[in-house]
Copies of this chain bind each other. A is one copy, B any other.
Amino acid sequence: MIERHLMKLRARDDISAEEERVIRGLVSHMVTVPADRTFVRAGEELKESTLLLDGWMARAKDLPTGERQIAEIHVAGDFMDLHGFTLKRLDHDVVSISQSTLAIVPHERVKDLTERYPHLVRMYWFMTNIDAAIQRESTVSLGRRDALSRMAQLFCELLVRLETVGLASDNRYAFPLTQAEVAECLGLTPVHVNRTLQELRRMNLIEVRDWHVDILDLERLTDVAQFDPAYLYLEKRER
- Judge if A191 is at the interface, Cβ distance under 8 Å: no
CB distance from A179 to the nearest CB of B (A): 16
- Judge if A203 is at the interface, Cβ distance under 8 Å: no
Chain A contact patch, size range: 35 or more
Using A128-B125, A128-B132, A239-B86 as known contacts, say yes or no to A91 and B231 having CB atoms under 8 A apart.
yes
Q: Are B91 and A133 in contact (CB under 8 A)?
A: yes
By secondary structure, the A interface counts as: helix
Compute how far the CA of A129 lies from the CA of B237 in the bound complex, rounded to whole angstroms.
23
Shortest Cβ distance from A223 into B: residue: B64
Q: Are B91 and A230 in contact (CB under 8 A)?
A: yes
User: For chain A residues 85-109, which have a beta carbon within 8 Å of chain B?
Assistant: 85-88, 91-92
Which interface residue of A43, A87, A122, A143 has the most chain B CB atoms within 10 A?
A: A143
- Judge if A41 is at the interface, Cβ distance under 8 Å: no
User: For chain A residues 32-68, which have a beta carbon within 8 Å of chain B?
Assistant: 42-43, 59, 61, 63-65, 67
Which interface residue of A137, A142, A186, A237 has the most chain B CB atoms within 10 A?
A: A142
Q: Are A92 and B136 in contact (CB under 8 A)?
A: yes
- Judge if A176 is at the interface, Cβ distance under 8 Å: no
Q: Are B92 and A125 in contact (CB under 8 A)?
A: no
Q: Are A143 and B142 in contact (CB under 8 A)?
A: yes
Shortest Cβ distance from A136 into B: residue: B71
Q: Are B118 and A59 in contact (CB under 8 A)?
A: no
Compute how far the CA of A171 lies from the CA of B33 in the bound complex, rounded to whole angstroms.
45
| Inter-chain contacts of A135 with B (CB < 8 A) | 132, 135-136, 139
Q: Are A142 and B187 in contact (CB under 8 A)?
A: yes
CB distance from A224 to the nearest CB of B (A): 12
Compute how far the CA of A43 lies from the CA of B187 in the bound complex, rounded to whole angstroms.
28
CB distance from A191 to the nearest CB of B (A): 16
Q: Are A125 and B91 in contact (CB under 8 A)?
A: no
